[in-house]
Amino acid sequence: MENKRHLNTLMVHDKDQYQDQFGAVVPPTYQNSLFTFSSWEAIEQAFEDKINNSIYTRGKNPTVALVEQKIATLAGGDKSKLFASGMAAVSAGMLHFLSAGDHIITLKNIYGPSISLINDFLIPKMNVEVSYVSGNDIDEIIAAIKPNTRLIYLESPSSVIFSLQNLALITAVAKKYDIATAIDNTWATPLFQKPLALGIDLEIHSCSKYLGGHSDIVSGVLIGCKELIDAIHIREYELLGAKMAPAEASLLLRSLRTLDLRMDRHQQSALKIAEFLNAHPQIALVNYPGLANFPQAELAQQQMSGFSGLMSFRLKTNDLVKIKSFFNHLELFQIGVSWGGHESLIYAPAISYLKEQSPEQFKRMAISLGDMRISVGLENVEDLLLDLSQALKLIE
Ligand SMILES: Cc1ncc(COP(=O)(O)O)c(C=O)c1O
C-alpha cells in the first residue's frame, strides 16, 4: 500500500515514527553525539553492523537517517547519505571514484568550486587528469575516454548557462566502457529529474538550495544503490567526517514536506518571468530550460518533468553605470550568491570574475558585464514582474 502512495504524501507523513515517540507528529531531533549500550555484548553486536546502528553521530544518527530515507525515496534510489554541505557531498563523491593518476571527464561549465576541487586539489595533490567537454556532443565524450577514465561527472542543467546533457545516451556509453557516472542534480531537484532511473550511478544535491528551500541550512546529499552508498558511508563519510548535523536534518525534514508545493510555485513564476524577459527590448538573451525557444527544449521536455526557478539573462547594454543602476534599484530581488530559497535573489557573475581575471581573460570567458543570474522565489509573481520592469526602465 505504502509503495503506491504519491511522493508528496510520503514526504508529509512520518506515521511509522509516531508509535515509539509519544505520538510526536514532528519526529524528535536526536541531538546527541553518542549512543550508549547495556553491555559489552550489546555494543559488540552494534559494531558488527556499523552502518545500520547508531553508535556515534559521525556515522549514523536517527534524525539524519530518517531524512536520508525520505530523500532516497524521493529520488528513487536505495539509499542516501547526508553531508555537511553540497561541496562535502561533491568531494566525497569524486574522491570515492578517483585514485591517484585516474582520469575524470567533466564539463567546462559545472559549478565553480567543483572545477576548483579538480584543478586546485585533485590535479596537484593526486595527479588526477581531467578532460573538459561541452557535454552536448556524445562523440566528444567518447573521444575523451582514456584507459584510466574512472568517472564522468555531469551537471544538467549546468551552472551559468543551464546547458543539458543527454543522460540516457551518456550512461549507455559509460556502461560500455565500465566508467562510473555522477551528476549534480541540484537545479532540477529529485522531483523534476530522476537521473538514477536513466542509469546514473551517483546523484548529488546541494540541499542548501531547493531541498532546504528556506535559506537557513547548508547541507548536501549523495543518493545511489545500497552497495555504493554503504561503501561511501564507511570510507568518505566517516573518515573525512563532513557529517550532517541532526538539527539541520530536522530543518530539512520540515522543508521536504513542502518541496512539491514550493517547486510548483517556483516553476510557474519562473516561466512567466523568463517569458517576460525574453520579450523585453532591453534584454539580449535568456537562459532558461523551460522556455519554448531554449536551444535544447526538446531534450529538456524529454528528460525533465519540470523546471525550477534559477535562470540567467543578458542586458543589452554594456554601460556599467546603467547595469549597476538596474542591479541596485531592484527592491524584491535581493543581492546574494545562493539560490533555491523562498526569497528572490539576483547576482551578476561579472562581480566575481572582474576581480579574479585580467580584462583579456574576462573577454575570453564569454561573460558579459550585463549577465545577470536570478533565483525566482515564492513572492507573488506580479510583484516580481513589476520590480523587474521598474528597474529595466532605468536603462532604456
Ligand atoms: C550547482 C551547485 N552544486 C553544488 C553547490 C555547492 O553546495 P553548498 O553551497 O551546499 O556546498 C552549489 C552551491 O551554490 C551549486 O550551485
Residue 6 CA to ligand 1 centre (angstroms): 28
Alpha-carbon distance 49 to 340, whole Å?
37
**Residue 286 and residue 236 in one domain:** no
pLDDT for residue 47: 97
In this structure, the residue with its CA closest to atom 9 of ligand 1 is: 86
pLDDT for residue 210: 98
Secondary structure (DSSP) of 139-174: HHHHHH--TTEEEEEEESSPTTT-----HHHHHHHH
Cell 546541494 sits on residue: 206
* CB-based pocket (< 6 A), ligand 1: 85-87, 90, 111, 159, 184, 186, 206, 208, 218, 220, 338
Helix H or strand E encompassing 346: strand 345-347
**Residue 127 and residue 74 in one domain:** yes
In this structure, the residue with its CA closest to atom 2 of ligand 1 is: 111
**Residue 288 and residue 334 in one domain:** yes
3-state secondary structure of 53: coil
**Residue 70 and residue 216 in one domain:** yes
User: Residue 220's domain is classified under what CATH number?
Assistant: 3.40.640.10
pLDDT for residue 24: 87
Residue 189 CA to ligand 1 centre (angstroms): 13
In this structure, the residue with its CA closest to atom 14 of ligand 1 is: 338
Amino acid at 76: G
Residue of 87, 91, 155, 210 with the most ligand 1 atoms within 8 Å of its CB, for mutation? 87
Alpha-carbon distance 167 to 196, whole Å?
10
Residue 191 CA to ligand 1 centre (angstroms): 18
In terms of residues, how long is the chain?
396
Q: 300 is in which domain, residue-wise?
A: 259-393
Residue 220 CA to ligand 1 centre (angstroms): 8
pLDDT for residue 3: 61
Asked whether the bond before 157 is cis by omega within 30 degrees of 0, the reply is yes
**Residue 289 and residue 324 in one domain:** yes
Residue 89 CA to ligand 1 centre (angstroms): 10
pLDDT for residue 361: 66
Q: Which atom of ligand 1 is nearest to the CA of 155?
A: 1
Domains held by the chain: number: 2
How much of the chain is in helix, strand and coil states, percent to nearest 5? Answer: 45, 15, 40
Residue of 111, 345, 373 with the most ligand 1 atoms within 8 Å of its CB, for mutation? 111
Residue 321 CA to ligand 1 centre (angstroms): 30
Which DSSP letter does residue 202 get?
A: E
Write down which residue in 256, 279, 305 finishes a domain: 256
Which DSSP letter does residue 374 get?
A: E
Identify how many contiguous H helices and E strands the chain contains and give both numbers: 19, 12
| 49 class by beta-carbon count within 10 Å (0-12 exposed, 13-18 middle, 19+ buried) | exposed
Adjacent-strand bridge partners of 180: 151
Amino acid at 287: N
pLDDT for residue 355: 73
User: Residue 279's domain is classified under what CATH number?
Assistant: 3.90.1150.10
Alpha-carbon distance 10 to 120, whole Å?
41
**Residue 196 and residue 319 in one domain:** no
Report which of 394, 393, 344, 350 is spatially closest to residue 371, judged by C-alpha positions. 350
In this structure, the residue with its CA closest to atom 15 of ligand 1 is: 111
Residue 205 CA to ligand 1 centre (angstroms): 8
In this structure, the residue with its CA closest to atom 12 of ligand 1 is: 206
Cell 529529474 sits on residue: 193
pLDDT for residue 19: 72
Write down which residue in 202, 226, 256 finishes a domain: 256
pLDDT for residue 364: 64
Query: Taking a C-beta distance cutoff of 8 angstroms, is the pair 340, 210 a contact?
Result: yes
pLDDT for residue 366: 74
pLDDT for residue 4: 82
pLDDT tens digit at each of 396 positions of the chain: 556 899 999 998 877 776 778 888 899 999 999 999 999 999 999 999 999 999 999 999 999 999 999 999 999 999 999 999 999 999 999 999 999 999 999 999 999 999 999 999 999 999 999 999 999 999 999 999 999 999 999 999 998 899 999 999 999 999 999 999 999 999 999 999 999 999 999 999 999 999 999 999 999 999 999 999 999 999 999 999 999 999 999 999 999 999 999 999 999 999 999 999 999 999 999 999 999 999 999 999 999 999 999 999 999 999 999 999 999 999 999 999 999 999 999 999 989 877 776 777 666 667 889 999 999 999 999 999 999 999 999 998
Adjacent-strand bridge partners of 48: none
Alpha-carbon distance 249 to 219, whole Å?
9
**Residue 234 and residue 347 in one domain:** no
Counting Cα atoms < 13 Å in the Cβ hemisphere of 97 gives 24
Write down which residue in 256, 279, 311 finishes a domain: 256
Alpha-carbon distance 394 to 377, whole Å?
23
